[in-house]
């Protein structure tokens, strides 16, 4: 049974990637693009194999085939150089099998939905290729038993997300939004990478099972690692002050918005915090910061959702409000509630996003919503209400503030570039330099 179980884990992770490689090789070596049918069938097969494999993993975990399989499942090391080892290890527990199956099913559903939705769209093959990359990324994130594997999946989710946002690249706005989202991801990913290296050095291993020893860490070091994980999760889950990229991400095709920003990717940061809970648990500072950030994001998103006039933007902020609450739940230590909330919320939002293109039709059928009576804030202080309204309209100018914060870095970069050009002109033997 253990061989079947191990094979199922490998299949769950690699089947979508193998199908992507097949489509990629066909696209690169053949003169024409693969047809829609071929691309969707190849990727669809990979996704379905991943679903079946996830079911087998769940059954193995539940003990359907005999002795339940739990804990670390080891494979040959990814790399071993002297004492340094990057293990290929997967962690099988209640959280991982739940997220693995849930992500595999949702991705396969969205793939099926997209066959019709994106029919004859110019980027059809690209969409399915990215979907395969995303599926592998989510399975790695869900099942990884060590931070290195987790980070690989995390990066794959980020890259596919950026390319999905810029999917309609003939317009400028999606491309700009894609770069902004990617920049946010990369800088929050830097937090995860630093945390990974730090964890390895302090705990002697980057395995999640090694986090059991987090209680022995000095308070300052535990807090530093926990805060780095928190920053990482905040970027991926669009928590304040990194919320600016989320409404921009709605530039992507609706099925990918549903999968990423309604269901799976937006919750990845929360999943990370559930995974590293032992280190978060011992850091009261990090937990307090997390609760504060989560609740602030929930309030912010609830205010913005009331002034949004497009369906996907409103849904994005509604999602964000719930994600903020789940973050607060995790940091308060209510991890089981948070996991349940996460999964139920993801299913609800996926349905709502996929139905978003029908909003106008539904609105006509059901009747337009009418403005309600003034709320208590408006009755209590019309001035404050107007200020909140204005702040919500321009979303606290989060993007502008981040641009301002980043402008000294750009100024420094331009200064270095000028110095470099001067140096190259000064020592060149070629007459002129670029």
Partner 1 sequence: MTNVESAQTAPWETLAVCLLLLVAPAVVSQHVFRAWHLLGLAGALVVALFASTGELAYLAVAVGAMVHALTVVRATRTGAATLAVSALAAVGVALAIRQDHMAVAFGLSCLCIALRAGVMPLHVGVASICDRLPVVQTQQLSSTIALVFVHLRFVDHHAAAVALAPLLVRYGAAATITAALMTLVQRDLRGLYRGTTAMHGGMLLAAVGAASLDNFAAALLVAVAMGLALGGLGIMITSLEERVGPVSFQGPGGRAGTLPKLAAAFALFGGAGVGLPGTAGFVADDLLLHTLWMESPTSTVTVILSSALLAVATLIAFSRVFLGRTTPSLAPDLYPRERVVVVLLLLLLLLLGFAPGVLLGPADAFLSNLPPVS
Q: Which of 112, 169, 306, 355 binds partner 1 (CB under 8 A)?
A: 169
Residue 408 found at the interface with partner 1 (CB under 8 A): no
Distance CA 162, CA 179 (A): 7
Residue 427 found at the interface with partner 1 (CB under 8 A): yes
- What interhelical angle do 265-275 and 219-236 show, nearest 10? 170
Residue 58 found at the interface with partner 1 (CB under 8 A): no
Task: Give the tokens for residue 382.
Answer: 């019309």
Q: Which region among 27-35, 213-221, 278-286, 293-301 touches partner 1 (by CB under 8 A)?
A: 27-35
DSSP bridge partners of 89: 74
Instruction: Name the strand (E) or helix (H) holding 72.
Output: strand 71-74
Report the residue number, 105 or 190, with the smaller CB distance to partner 1.
190
For residue 244, the Cα-to-chain-centroid distance in whole angstroms is 15
CB of 432 to partner 1, least distance (A): 10
Residue 102 found at the interface with partner 1 (CB under 8 A): no
**φ and ψ at residue 308, rounded to 5 degrees:** -75, 140
Q: Which of 61, 90, 164, 182 binds partner 1 (CB under 8 A)?
A: 182
- Do the Cβ atoms of 398 and 247 come closer than 8 Å? no
Q: Which of 98, 114, 178, 392 binds partner 1 (CB under 8 A)?
A: 178
- Do the Cβ atoms of 139 and 157 come closer than 8 Å? no
Residue 419 CB coordination number (10 Å): 10
Report the residue number, 64 or 412, with the smaller CB distance to partner 1.
412
CB of 237 to partner 1, least distance (A): 18
Distance CA 96, CA 10 (A): 14
Q: Site residues for partner 1, window 60-79 (CB under 8 A)? A: 77-79
Residue 81 found at the interface with partner 1 (CB under 8 A): yes
Site string for partner 1, 125-164 (x = CB under 8 A): ------------x----------x--xxx-xx--x--x--
Report the residue number, 229 or 277, with the smaller CB distance to partner 1.
229
Computed on alpha carbons and rounded to an integer, the radius of gyration of the chain in Å comes to 23
Residue 33 found at the interface with partner 1 (CB under 8 A): yes
Report the residue number, 165 or 356, with the smaller CB distance to partner 1.
165
The CB-side HSE value for 306 (13 A sphere, CA atoms) comes to 16
Distance CA 346, CA 294 (A): 17
Residue 420 found at the interface with partner 1 (CB under 8 A): yes
Q: Which of 26, 27, 59, 402 binds partner 1 (CB under 8 A)?
A: 27
Q: Which of 2, 35, 407, 428 binds partner 1 (CB under 8 A)?
A: 428
Distance CA 88, CA 125 (A): 31
CB of 384 to partner 1, least distance (A): 39
CB of 170 to partner 1, least distance (A): 5
Q: Which of 6, 18, 24, 93 binds partner 1 (CB under 8 A)?
A: 24
Residue 167 CB coordination number (10 Å): 21
Residue 18 found at the interface with partner 1 (CB under 8 A): no
- Count the site residues for partner 1 by CB under 8 A: 60
Burial degree of 52 (CB within 10 A; 0-12, 13-18, 19+): middle
CA–CA distances in Å: residue 124 to residues 33, 115, 121, 396: 10, 8, 5, 36
Cα three-residue angle 228-233-237, rounded to 5 degrees: 155
Contacts of 409 (CB under 8 A, 6+ apart): none
CB of 366 to partner 1, least distance (A): 38
Residue 405 found at the interface with partner 1 (CB under 8 A): no
Residue with tokens 């986090």, as numbered in its chain = 211
Distance CA 290, CA 226 (A): 10
Residue 388 found at the interface with partner 1 (CB under 8 A): no
Residue 433 found at the interface with partner 1 (CB under 8 A): yes
Phi-psi domain of 206 (left: phi exceeds 0; alpha: psi -120 through 50; beta: other): alpha
For residue 357, the Cα-to-chain-centroid distance in whole angstroms is 23
**φ and ψ at residue 81, rounded to 5 degrees:** -130, 110
Site string for partner 1, 289-328 (x = CB under 8 A): ----------------------------------------
Q: Site residues for partner 1, window 183-222 (CB under 8 A)? A: 183, 186-187, 189-190, 193-194, 197-198, 200-201
Report the residue number, 220 or 390, with the smaller CB distance to partner 1.
220
Contact positions vs partner 1 (CB under 8 A) = 17, 24-25, 27-29, 33, 77-82, 84, 86, 122, 137, 148, 151-153, 155-156, 159, 162, 166, 169-170, 172, 175, 178-179, 182-183, 186-187, 189-190, 193-194, 197-198, 200-201, 409-410, 412-414, 416-417, 420, 423-424, 427-430, 433-434
């Amino acid at each position: 049974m253990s061989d079947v179980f191990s094979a199922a884990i490998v299949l769950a992770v690699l089947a979508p990637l193998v199908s992507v490689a097949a489509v990629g090789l066909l696209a690169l070596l053949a003169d024409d693009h693969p047809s829609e049918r071929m691309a969707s069938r190849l990727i669809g097969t990979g996704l379905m194999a991943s679903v079946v494999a996830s079911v087998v993993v769940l059954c193995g975990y539940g003990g359907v085939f005999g002795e339940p399989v739990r804990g670390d499942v080891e494979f040959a090391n990814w790399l071993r150089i002297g004492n340094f080892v990057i293990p290929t290890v997967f962690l099988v527990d209640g959280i991982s099998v739940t997220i693995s199956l849930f992500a595999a099913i949702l991705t396969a559903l969205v793939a099926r939905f997209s066959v019709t939705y994106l029919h004859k769209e110019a980027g059809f093959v690209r969409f399915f290729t990215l979907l395969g990359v995303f599926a592998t990324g989510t399975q790695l994130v869900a099942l990884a038993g060590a931070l290195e594997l987790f980070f690989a999946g995390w990066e794959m989710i980020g890259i596919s997300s950026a390319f999905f946002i810029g999917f309609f690249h003939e317009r400028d706005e999606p491309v700009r939004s894609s770069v902004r989202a990617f920049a946010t991801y990369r800088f929050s990913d830097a937090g995860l990478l630093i945390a990974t290296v730090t964890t390895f050095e302090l705990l002697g291993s980057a395995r999640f099972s090694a986090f059991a020893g987090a209680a022995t860490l000095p308070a300052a070091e535990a807090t530093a690692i926990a805060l780095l994980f928190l920053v990482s999760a905040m970027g991926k889950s669009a928590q304040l002050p990194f919320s600016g990229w989320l409404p921009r991400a709605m530039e992507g095709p609706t099925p990918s918005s549903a999968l990423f920003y309604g269901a799976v990717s937006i919750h990845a940061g929360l999943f990370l915090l559930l995974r590293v809970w032992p280190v978060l648990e011992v850091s009261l500072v990090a937990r307090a910061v997390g609760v504060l950030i989560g609740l602030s994001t929930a309030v912010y998103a609830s205010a913005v959702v009331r002034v949004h006039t497009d369906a996907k933007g409103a849904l994005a902020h509604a999602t964000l409000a719930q994600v903020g609450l789940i973050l607060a739940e995790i940091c308060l230590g209510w991890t089981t509630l948070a996991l349940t909330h996460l999964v139920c919320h993801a299913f609800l939002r996926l349905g709502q996003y996929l139905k978003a293109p029908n909003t106008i039709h539904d609105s006509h059928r059901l009747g337009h919503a009418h403005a309600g009576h003034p709320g208590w804030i408006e009755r209590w202080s019309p001035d404050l209400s107007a200020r909140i309204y204005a702040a919500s309209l321009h979303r606290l100018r989060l993007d502008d503030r981040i641009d301002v914060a980043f402008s000294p870095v750009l100024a420094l970069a331009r200064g270095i570039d000028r110095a470099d050009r001067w140096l190259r002109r000064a020592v060149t033997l070629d007459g002129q330099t670029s």
